[in-house]
Amino acid sequence: MAFLKILVFLCLFATVHLRVPKRINNELEAYIEEKKAEINPRYKLHYHVTPPVGWMNDPNGFSFFNGEYHVFYQFYPYDSQWGPMHWGHASSPDLVNWEQLPTALVPDEEMCFSGSAIVKDDQLVLMYTGRVNTEVDPFFYESQYLAFSDDGINFEKYEGNPVLPVALDGSPDFRDPKVWKHGDYWYVVIGSKTPDNRGRVLLYRSPDLISWEFLNVLGESTGNMGYMWECPDFFEINGRHILLMSPQGMEPVGDRYKNLHQTGYIIGTFDYETFEFVPEVDFQEIDFGHDFYATQTTENDGKRILIAWFGMWETPFPEAVDGWAGAMTIFRELVLHNDRLLMKPVDAMTSLREETVWDGKFEEGEKISFDKTLELIVTSDLNQKINIQITGSNGGDQILLQWDPDVRKVVVDRDGDIRQVEWSPIDSKSWRIFLDASSMELFCGEGEVVFSSRIFPNGEWLVTNLSPQSVDVVAYKLRRSVPE
């Protein structure tokens, strides 16, 4: 009955509530500009995309259009906590230097939940989930909407929205469309759940982005992979297909799945004739840190690039008292090696190196003070333990980066909250560590193991070698590449 009520409502809605095209909301942009002056900058990141004010979560619409990369994000400008979702917007020529652009989408009857972007007929097209609250059970529904732009800045919502009103089984959880082109058709994967609360990903196709045909359930939990699969992505690397998604509600198993919600991938094969995805390698986490969720990828120049929300639901955001909350990770290139995805920082990250501030031995027990932005390359003897302590020059949060040769595990200990995973180096045995004003990203070797964790120091950085060995360190101060 609830499904029928939703269907009738949507039919009436599509008939009498055509979308009114909207340009930049000057009143909103003036508000953002005024509120920026009130932001406390102590934790504001210098080379990560963050909201100018207010709240940020999932990256959206990651794409390449008119010679620039575009990334959008879930955005609530009026408070530093989650609220009615807008789409914030930033652009970059190189994935490193970012310009803040006007808010791309503002809510009307619908909140503008997550989605993706594609280029069609010289337009940048956004496909996003519109969420509308109702007064009948299940008290909300989610549908798929379109918005179009000729210049990549001003967006007009499609007058015939929604183009995909309901999931095939009527599930109200029907969100986060990721679109791509293959042959003569556009395809989209959308996150959903079964009636008995098992996560799934649905596959559709369309000749024009307007009329959509359901094809198949691309993937589905058998009961041990959570109650909802959010933010699905589907792409090919080296002839193999990757289903990347964020399952909610997976139970911890040993060292794995320690976060409240997970992000990972399944490797398999896909047939565009039968629309069947056949898994070949079981689900694997893609990042092992405390704060990593809701990934999105795009491809350009033959490289598959990934970004994620540098946060986690239902955890504290200490920066919220400063007038903003949430960030994006640095951008990473994905490489498929045998049955694993490797992640490494995009090559352009080296352009941020402003000066070399250390190059040599870091002796046992030695302490070094650094500015708020730092890249560290640590090389050591992996037959001995490593223990690098990172904290604020005036205290605050502390994180320990450790290597235990007895069990061959990398350990990230954030004030007693531990994440750890086995590491088998392919070639390089070095660690590459990125520190920003309130973040740490650790890339081991060729990117076999990556940890992304927020950390909130008082003052600048203080790094101490607590290892029973000296280690070789090269340290670079990194310049600012996002707006203040």
DSSP secondary structure string for all residues of 170-192 = --S-EEEEEEEEETTEEEEEEEE
Please tell me the distance from the alpha carbon of residue 69 to that of residue 62, in angstroms, as a whole number: 7
Look at the block and give the residue holding tokens 């990334």.
71
Cis bond before residue 316 (omega within 30° of 0): no
309 with 287: CB under 8 angstroms? no
Please tell me the distance from the alpha carbon of residue 421 to that of residue 167, in angstroms, as a whole number: 37
Look at residue 170 in the predicted model and tell me its pLDDT: 87
Please tell me the distance from the alpha carbon of residue 299 to that of residue 235, in angstroms, as a whole number: 9
Q: Would you give the distance in Å from CA 133 to the centre of its chain?
A: 26
185 with 193: CB under 8 angstroms? no
Look at residue 185 in the predicted model and tell me its pLDDT: 98
Which listed residue (58, 176, 291, 397) is catalytic?
Answer: 58
Task: Give the global pTM.
Answer: 0.94
Please tell me the distance from the alpha carbon of residue 327 to that of residue 48, in angstroms, as a whole number: 7
Look at residue 23 in the predicted model and tell me its pLDDT: 60
Please tell me the distance from the alpha carbon of residue 429 to that of residue 384, in angstroms, as a whole number: 13
CA angle 205, 165, 139 (to 5 degrees): 140
Cis bond before residue 138 (omega within 30° of 0): yes
89 with 102: CB under 8 angstroms? yes
CA angle 279, 285, 286 (to 5 degrees): 100
Look at the block and give the residue holding tokens 């079981």.
282
Taking the CA of residue 128 as centre, how many other CA atoms within 13 Å lie in the half-sphere pointing to its CB? 33
Query: Which amino acid, residue 252?
Result: P
Query: Which amino acid, residue 359?
Result: D
Residues 6+ apart with CB under 8 A from 335: 237, 341, 342, 343, 344, 446, 447
| Spans of the chain below 50 pLDDT | 1-21
Look at residue 169 in the predicted model and tell me its pLDDT: 85
Please tell me the distance from the alpha carbon of residue 152 to that of residue 135, in angstroms, as a whole number: 36
311 with 293: CB under 8 angstroms? yes
Residues 6+ apart with CB under 8 A from 135: none
Tell me if residue 233 is catalytic: no
Look at residue 4 in the predicted model and tell me its pLDDT: 42
Helices (H), 359-428: none
